[in-house]
A and B are shown apart, each in its own frame.
Chain A
Amino acid sequence: MKTTTFNLLKSLLSGVFFLWVAFAAYASPDAESKESIKEEEFEASELIFHHIKDSHGFHVAGDFSIALPVILWTDNGLVTFMSSEFHHDNDGEVVVEKNGMKFVNLHEKIYQLEAGASSVSLDHEHHPTNAHRPLDFSITKNVFSMLLSLVVMLLLFSTAARSYKKSQNHMPSGFGRFVEPVIVFVRDEIAIPNIGEHHYKRYMPFLLTLFFFIWLNNIFGLIPFFPFSANLSGNIAFTGTLALITLLITWFSSKKSYWKHMVWMPGLPVPMKLFLAPIELMGMFIKPIALMIRLFANITAGHVVVLSLISLIFVLKTAWAGTVSVPFAVFISVIEVLVVAIQAYIFTMLSALYFGQALEEEH
């Protein structure tokens, strides 16, 4: 019974991999075909950057994409409409008029035209001269992916929790059996060694949520077809927000000695103290910034490498390039599966480490 499940899982996993590679190889010419009509040359960097950036519609396959709601906070209040009203345009050509305001989609950024203007005009750096950006709270591709991960997490973990409740002897079943080792790992390898026996319980919900949230979104980013494939955890806004939350919790849980060690390091001569204080204060901010950039750059770099390898086929204009680049892309993808788990682990571990430092008492 167990082996059959395992085999099923194995074949499922390998199936996903081959589908992914096949899809990546299939999807790329689609994206390219649109480009190639406009400019003969295939621009790999354009394709890649298009993928790793956010967008207002969710491209599924070919010309089919899912419309997502656009939510804008303008000077005249809230404006909402579906992104399909732009008709896949992201060059600022289609003008959508709502509540007497005109909006264009310029490189997946919504601009509001100034009063009186009927079309967007660009300066030579491709910045619009007669439009400004309203506050954009749209459900973009990334937000959609995040909400999906939120729903998935809620479903999975409440199911896991229920499986504990159902059993008499607190033994999990089903999905609970899979998550329990991970939860125990987070507790025994991340929380307790870094925060300490006394305080770790308070931080467990945060660390677990953080770990699974990052991990799941990383995995979603690796899966190359519709409801997934958004580069959410490779977006600096996402990683920056999580790093900021870590910084805020560090501050809220900090004891006196944390600040004392930062501003006036005990046990050192005064000139040294004066020298160290700015470095330590800078370090306090550099730590979360490093967290932010580590996750962002790792995930983005993974996507860029895989897409570059696939693009190689179209850059070299020969299918034979695929014989080298596709196995290589598969290899990188397998490594990425490992990397996304390690990145989730490192983000969580360093957060726990910073909490532990903040909690350290005078000794």
Chain B
Amino acid sequence: MSLALLQEAAMSYGAFAAIGAGLAAIGGGIGVGKIGGAAMEAMARQPELQGKLQGSAIVLIAFIEAIALFAVVVSFLAMSA
């Protein structure tokens, strides 16, 4: 009986972890989308700066992505806690 309870708890932990990862993905998506949009706009305005803009956009996306990935790792931890 206690085993079944624990299993259930573990399953619900997993569900919460999945929701957490999903929320982090929303945040990351918004951030990456904003950067991508702004970068495209800037590139359209000044095509001669394309290379520079692309490089910094990728780096900024990496920063935002890291935050979302932190959340993913936290949900990994939560899932197996």
Contacts and interface: CB of A to CB of B under 8 A. Distances in A.
B59 A346 contact: yes
Contact of B6 (A124, A298, A349): A124
Nearest to B68: A297
Contacts of A301: 69, 72
A137 B2 CA distance: 38
A294 interface: yes
Interface string A344-363: 01100110000000000000
B73 interface: yes
A203 B73 CA distance: 31
Contact of B72 (A297, A342, A345, A350): A297
A298 B6 CA distance: 31
Interface in A101-136: 124
B70 A293 contact: yes
Nearest to A125: B6
Give the size category of B's interface with A.
Answer: 10 to 19
Contacts of A293: 66, 69-70, 73
A301 B65 CA distance: 12
Contacts of B66: 290, 293-294
Nearest to B62: A346
Given A293-B66, A297-B72, A346-B58, 20 more contacts: A124-B2, A124-B6, A189-B55, A290-B66, A293-B69, A293-B70, A293-B73, A294-B62, A294-B69, A297-B69, A297-B73, A298-B65, A298-B69, A301-B69, A342-B62, A345-B58, A346-B59, A349-B59, A350-B59, A350-B62
Interface of A: 124, 189, 290, 293-294, 296-298, 301, 342, 345-346, 349-350
